Structure 1
Amino acid sequence: MTAPDQKADFSGVSAQVDTTAEKVEKADFSGVRANVDTTAEKVGGSAAQTYTVRSGDTLSHIAKQFYGKASEWNTIYAANRDQLDDPDRIKPGQVLTIPARDDQPTG
């Protein structure tokens, strides 16, 4: 049986925090340089494009236009899932991302 209302005794506990902030000089990054370069043009890749949906368009029609195959419609659908809930319900005026052939999403 435990004693009612008995609390833990922490009176003998102590803590110490030591910091090195004042002991170490600040790092000097003044000589650090960075350069970001794209490889898209260097390896023959192409960037994604956009397409504004027109009245009568379907994803299959758009895929045929960009990829040469209507069956590639799902590539466009996958790249635009943030704005397309149903591949059969695209609307005129929507701006779709058309992935480059080598940028096609997987899955």
Structure 2
Amino acid sequence: MQMIDYKDFDKIELRVGTIVRAEPFEKARKPAYKIWVDLGEELGVKKSSAQVTTHYTPEDLIGKQVVCVCNFVPKQIADFMSEILITGFESEEGGIVLTTVEREVPNGAKLH
């Protein structure tokens, strides 16, 4: 594991947002969803492609607060521009379990 100092961590914009729309991403090479996340007034709604089909349906995702990396360079995936990275952890069964918050917090709140 590479060690970093706080200045490195502080460069990463980890913010919370609420999923407002999700749909199957038919053109993705691996099973994925197109997801729209409301990141509050400052950042607005951002798009992401997420391979979270093992544990979630699009309907499960609506209203869920998730932790996102908001300052990666946008990435073109097929015909969709992914603007943020929705974070998660791999489960024992495989597939990604989304990183969420214990209690509801304002959209756009930064992780400290």
Give the TM-score, by structure 2 length: 0.31
Higher strand share: 2
Higher helix share: 1
Greater gyration radius: 1
Give the TM-score, by structure 1 length: 0.32
Bigger relative contact order (CA 8 A; separation at least 6): 2
